[in-house]
């Protein structure tokens, strides 16, 4: 689970920086957060093996989620500003 979280974290941290497509990384990053949390719990039962990978995946997924949400807020504000200035 930790490896899956890390893979999703890496993929989503790359996708979230692409303008207009950053919101596509929102769902996979949430899945990465869940898998990272599960991976940490599994690592605790296995005497800490794989805990670092799970933590890295969790951190990357959290960062990607925050960036994706910021993109959504920025584009929503820009759309609202453009529609109000043109009277839509």
Whole-model pTM above 0.75? yes
Instruction: Identify the weakest region by mean pLDDT among 3-12, 19-28, 54-63.
Output: 19-28
Residue 63 covered by a domain: yes
Number of structural domains in the chain: 1
Q: In terms of residue numbers, what domain contains 20?
A: 2-79
Give the pLDDT mean for 9-27. Answer: 88
* Percent of the chain predicted with pLDDT > 70: 95
Residue 87 covered by a domain: no
Give the pLDDT mean for 32-52. Answer: 92
Residue 86 covered by a domain: no
Residue 18 covered by a domain: yes
Query: Token pair for residue 37?
Result: 């949390």
Residue 32: is it exposed, middle or buried by C-beta count within 10 angstroms (0-12/13-18/19+)?
buried
- Angstrom distance (rounded) from CA 54 to CA 66: 18
Residue 88 covered by a domain: no
* Predicted local confidence at residue 14, as pLDDT: 93
């Amino acid at each position: 689970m930790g490896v899956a979280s890390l893979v999703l974290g890496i993929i989503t941290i790359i996708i979230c920086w692409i303008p207009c497509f950053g919101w596509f990384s929102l769902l996979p990053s949430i899945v990465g957060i869940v898998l990272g949390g599960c991976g940490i719990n599994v690592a605790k039962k296995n005497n800490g093996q794989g805990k670092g990978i799970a933590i890295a995946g969790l951190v990357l997924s959290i960062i990607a989620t925050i960036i994706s949400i910021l993109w959504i807020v920025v584009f929503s504000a820009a759309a609202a500003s453009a529609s109000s200035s043109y009277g839509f």
